[in-house]
Structure 1
């Protein structure tokens, strides 16, 4: 498996240009057989950028990085992986199904973590083909954080394939959130994820949405920030979320959570509690 190492995080501008080119490549394109691993031996945290991220997601200031923030640090490597000629799918149009983060220990605020990203083998899904992008974060050569991002490339699919889903919990609202129409643009500025479906009504309509939708990883971050404020985040835990119905902006949503022993279930619903946007489960 080839490895590409960087002295600095790859620039998002050139990566987005390469992503568009990769999406437009010819239908008979055949990728390289070997998977690619990307490594960033040192990733410095910009404190102003971190402050912006905290502001848009709701995390309070503290001595450690928010548990979802390393996903932002790894995002340029994700984009690099999915726009590389060895990547077997067209990157634009891929659907983010779920995300699982394991924090082995909090990452100190001024740490300079190293990051490693690679993909997994594909597997069948009722709506196409599923694969994972795995991110690993190390501090002083110790693995402290992992992220498994599960993605779907749509095709005819296998109706007999197993779709791995969390059980939807039955939860009442613990909080109501009023989300503004510019939330997607604010999170894009904080995360680097400038997918047009999140930015403006017109750019979202070009991809079949009635108006812009919230980023899935914003919803996960906001949920965990709310749980952190409630004192529900231990130092070490695993948390998985599944993304259900798109969250249109602006909107008003319900957030609910309930703990049973070491398991905490949470979910994000629409104002009428008729649509489920996100379901999550935390173990720890």
Structure 2
């Protein structure tokens, strides 16, 4: 299913694990490994350095899965892929890295803090995609360790899409002298005073987590139903963070951008508080010369779930 490539380099330095897949990995065995793997809890090398990489080339898009993704996230039909859809294609590769010997901590309990996507051109549904994911070494922060998963998509050698996910493992650490200050997150404060804001109310169904899980393969128990979520300390199932981001992007595409997003753009979000299912939440966006900022909140702005910003990139 995969092969490990030995990498030469500097003496006395641990080289990144490189995995080349020949086919898309099955999700269930990876989750079983996530549940049963014993992790040593020790770091190798400096924070931020690439620990492992996995690649899978010449991948076609399944039109049935894509159609289901559009439906659950609110995207309209079109010839281009939604900008968040490559994340779904890469999810098994990311999980493969997290269950590998290169990642030192348990997978369960890892929290998705932030995600940034850069799209350099629109991806066509008919294109064949080369996917690569890199796992970067964790760095100590106040509440545990933060690390990044960096995903890139190429078509015929051309870099067309990139994503950086910042995640955190709540593992205690000894060295309090080298703690890194977590990156600041853009927090909303309820309804904006900007005159040109656009607002929507969303009814998020109780089965949203299960529907998104069937498409994405992310069957983390906290997203499926109340009984499985309670096993991990949540009163009810919570929506996937990347579903929330995709739903925001679909709303921006339909409303602010009148059905067509910029050709090249960057969209970054911070996941602040979970959305418990079912839920009634509000989406709000405002646009100025610096870009479009948006947020998802509930309770008349008392509980902010997500904040984000979309900016057009200069044409290359």
TM-score, normalised on structure 1?
0.94
- Taking a change above 3 Å as real, the CA distance of residues 62 and 124 of structure 1, as seen in their structure-2 partners, is same
Write out per-residue CA displacement over residues 143-188 of structure 1, whole angstroms, 9 at most, x where no aligned residue.
Answer: 0000101000113465963121232245446000011111110111
Preserved contact between residue 32 and residue 85 of structure 1 (Cα < 8 Å): no
Q: How many aligned positions are there?
A: 281
Mark the runs of 5 or more structure 1 residues left unpaired by the alignment: none
| 1:194 aligned partner | 219
- Say yes or no: does 1:237 pair with 2:265: yes
Aligned to 2:276: 248
Partner of 1:41: 57
| Structure 1 residue corresponding to 2:160, chosen from 144, 147, 157 | 144
Asked whether 1:185 is paired with 2:207, we answer: no
- Correspondence 1:60 to 2:88: no
CA distance in 1, matches of 2:126, 2:256: 23
Q: What is the DSSP-based 3-state SS (H/G/I as helix, E as strand, rest coil) of the residue aligned with 1:254? A: strand
Please name the residue that 1:162 is paired with.
181
What is the CA-CA distance between 1:123 and the residue it aligns to? Answer: 1.8
Contact 1:252 1:271 in 2 (8 A): no
Which aligned pairs between 1:66-77 and structure 2 lie closer than 5 A? 66-77=82-93
Q: 1:8 aligns with which of 19, 23, 26?
A: 23
Structure 2 runs not aligned, ≥5 long? 1-15, 193-197
SS at match of 2:133: strand
Find the aligned partners of 1:209 and 1:241 in 2 and give their Cα distance: 23
Tell me if the contact between 1:129 and 1:154 (Cα under 8 Å) persists in the aligned partners. yes
Distance in structure 1 (CA, Å) of the matches to 2:301 and 2:171 = 31
Shift of 1:68: 0.2
Distance in 2 (alpha carbons) for counterparts of 1:129 and 1:205:
24
Report the aligned-residue RMSD: 1.8
Match of 2:136 in 1: 120
Match of 2:11 in 1: none
1:21 aligns with 2:36: yes
Structure-1 separation of matches of 2:138 and 2:109:
17
